[in-house]
Amino acid sequence: MEQIWAEVIVAEFASVADGKLTLVGAGFDWFNHTGPVSFGVGALLHVPWTETNTPHTWRFRLADADGGVYAGPDGGALEFADRFEVGRPPGTPAGAALTMALAFNLQGLVFPPQSRYLAQLFLDERSTPLAEAGFSVLGG
């Protein structure tokens, strides 16, 4: 049976409109800042026909290189989740996979220099990420 798979990309800004993901300044690997940074994360979930019309959950988190969840400005873990169900639009050919887009914009985060972080996307109750994109923080 086919499974849902995903792509995660770090960008300067991310948005979703009409089911399409728009990324500005996408695909970078590092920041060279010592102060607060803002950036976006885009994700595409590719849902096979057999998983459409079925409830699922996604969970996004920002983690350090050791797997610890990044603590946001308020001290809480920077992670959030939601439920989703991809429906089959009328006229979709049988067996076609469908794509769902997600966008997250993170504002004013402070990272220590010479560190590495991962933007991770999890599916349902899985403990390993479905997809992730990493970036390093230079400077110092």
Tens of each residue's pLDDT in the chain, 140 residues: 689 999 999 999 999 999 999 999 998 999 887 788 999 999 999 999 999 999 999 999 999 999 999 997 788 899 999 999 999 999 999 999 999 999 999 999 999 889 999 999 999 999 999 999 999 999 76
- Strands (E) across the chain are located at 5-11, 13-17, 20-24, 30-31, 37-47, 56-64, 79-84, 98-109, 115-123, 131-137
Counting every residue written for the chain, the total comes to 140
- AA letter at 83: R
**46-51-52-58 Cα dihedral, nearest 10 degrees:** -60
Q: pTM for the complete prediction? A: 0.93
- In CATH terms, 5-137 corresponds, of 3.20.20.10, 2.130.10.10, 2.10.210.10, 2.60.40.10, to 2.60.40.10
